[in-house]
Structure 1
Amino acid sequence: MPDDTTAAVRGQRLPRSERRAQLLDAALGVFVENGYHAAAMDDIAARAGVSKPVLYQHFPGKLELYLALIDQHTGELEQLVRDALALEDNKARINTMTRAYFDFVGQEGAAFRLIFESDLANEPEVRKRLDQIDLTCAEAMAEIITSETSMEQEEAVLVGVAFVGMAQTAARHWLTHEATLSEDTAVRVTAALIRRGFGAFPSVRSGADKPKESVGTTAG
């Protein structure tokens, strides 16, 4: 039986943008809890407190709804990474990029499961989006790498892929151990490991031009 909140929502005529946001929020909960294949449009409509025809007015099918969620949340992750790149100091950029993954994984609603643990990853349209966000974030890391080392662009992107994979895997591990490991500690350790990794590659600076505190050799 619908509760008072659901009944109130059913009686409201929301602006299209607000209704779409409401439907996406409901869909996220259903997809995260049940996975794509077990999720039903009936369940999503019921959670949103709307009729199924209203849901279909905004999204013609379950796949389109899922892709809209993927686009929304990969966009959020990309913005977090680009905000980190806006910083001028490379150490701060690496720290902030690393924290972006931890903050994203720790968001209420567990949207990260659609990005990093999707049960529809082999669907071409989903795969294309997931590959693109990985590449976008790796290229962002490569921008830092090429500014600090003599590495060529393609090599830097490869290393960026490895670093991005490390950040998101560490973040997901932290989420299951946050009772005993604080986010600040997990971010600090992971970012330090990434910065240390830069030390394996020749620096573009040497001698008098080399800063006292190199991104690739700083432990803190």
Structure 2
Amino acid sequence: MTTRRRLSGPERRAQILDATRLIVVEEGYHAVTYDRVAAACGVTRTVIYQQFESLSGLLVAMIDREIEHAFAGFREAVARPLPPGEDPFTHAVAGVLDAVDAAPTTWRLFMLPAEGGPPELHQRLARARAVTRSHLSRITGHHTDPELSIRILHAVADELVRLRLTAPAAHPPSRLLAQARLLSRTLTTR
């Protein structure tokens, strides 16, 4: 007879958040209920209530944990030393694609958000867009219209990440980075 080890509070919380993330990614926010999460974790609803006082609190905790994880990947991507001859935009996109490949479920939450997310999701997404555009403003160079260049690069980076998430076999990093490099020559030349 095998006995299961009882999870600590933080371990149980992580398990609940993982289950919630999976339900959201596979079925959307509307599918998250106390019963669904409890069943996915093999616990009672009471255990979920002990960790999260409300369903919206559970969703916000999951969003906050995942956005922090995505931000960590982004910060690591843009902080890597730039190799000689590589342009900063393509190098940053390469790092972000590495982060996406390391945690695709996390990145799906934000790059392919399900309908019905709480207002906090949209607040976090707006903050993420601002951080990304701030980084892009440092690498676009001097153009007639830097704001437009930043917006275009942001849209390109977002689409490259979406392609990697939705059809990774058809969109290997080498293919995506070739496009990033091509566009970067036009929009980041100093």
What's the TM-score once normalised by structure 2's chain length?
0.80
Separation in structure 2 between the aligned mates of residue 85 and residue 176 of structure 1, nearest angstrom: 23
Separation in structure 1 between the aligned mates of residue 155 and residue 99 of structure 2, nearest angstrom: 14
Separation in structure 1 between the aligned mates of residue 183 and residue 107 of structure 2, nearest angstrom: 23
The residue identity in structure 1 corresponding to 2:108 is R
Q: Which runs of 5+ in 1 are unaligned?
A: 204-220
Paired residues of 1:94 and 1:195 also in contact (CA < 8 A): no
Once the two structures are superposed, the pairs formed by residues 39-54 of structure 1 within 5 Å of their partners are 39-54=32-47
The residue identity in structure 2 corresponding to 1:68 is A
Note closer, same or farther for the CA distance 1:150–1:92 as it changes in structure 2 (3 Å cut): closer
Paired residues of 2:23 and 2:31 also in contact (CA < 8 A): no
The residue identity in structure 2 corresponding to 1:144 is I
Separation in structure 1 between the aligned mates of residue 143 and residue 57 of structure 2, nearest angstrom: 40
2:70 aligned partner? 77
**TM-align CA RMSD:** 2.9
Q: Name the count of aligned residue pairs.
A: 187
Once the two structures are superposed, the pairs formed by residues 31-46 of structure 1 within 5 Å of their partners are 31-46=24-39
2:166 corresponds, among 141, 166, 176, to 176
Note closer, same or farther for the CA distance 1:183–1:79 as it changes in structure 2 (3 Å cut): same
2:180 corresponds, among 190, 193, 213, to 190
2:17 corresponds, among 16, 24, 30, to 24
Separation in structure 1 between the aligned mates of residue 50 and residue 149 of structure 2, nearest angstrom: 44
The residue identity in structure 1 corresponding to 2:14 is A
Note closer, same or farther for the CA distance 1:31–1:181 as it changes in structure 2 (3 Å cut): closer
What's the TM-score once normalised by structure 1's chain length?
0.71
CA apart distance, 1:165: 2.4
Separation in structure 2 between the aligned mates of residue 92 and residue 78 of structure 1, nearest angstrom: 22
Paired residues of 2:137 and 2:150 also in contact (CA < 8 A): yes
Paired residues of 1:84 and 1:97 also in contact (CA < 8 A): yes
Rg (Cα) greater in structure = 1
Separation in structure 2 between the aligned mates of residue 186 and residue 178 of structure 1, nearest angstrom: 10
The residue identity in structure 2 corresponding to 1:61 is S
CA apart distance, 1:189: 2.3
2:124 aligned partner? 129
Secondary structure of 1:112's counterpart equals helix
Q: Which runs of 5+ in 2 are unaligned?
A: none
Note closer, same or farther for the CA distance 1:62–1:194 as it changes in structure 2 (3 Å cut): farther
Question: Is 1:164 the equivalent of 2:159?
Answer: no
Note closer, same or farther for the CA distance 1:50–1:65 as it changes in structure 2 (3 Å cut): same
1:208 aligned partner? none
1:120 corresponds, among 116, 132, 155, to 116
The higher relative CO (CA closer than 8 Å, separation ≥ 6) is in 2
1:96 corresponds, among 76, 91, 95, to 91
Question: Is 1:150 the equivalent of 2:145?
Answer: no
Paired residues of 2:77 and 2:92 also in contact (CA < 8 A): yes
Secondary structure of 1:150's counterpart equals coil
The percent of aligned pairs where both chains have the same amino acid is 26
Separation in structure 1 between the aligned mates of residue 41 and residue 134 of structure 2, nearest angstrom: 37
Paired residues of 1:98 and 1:167 also in contact (CA < 8 A): yes
Separation in structure 1 between the aligned mates of residue 112 and residue 54 of structure 2, nearest angstrom: 21
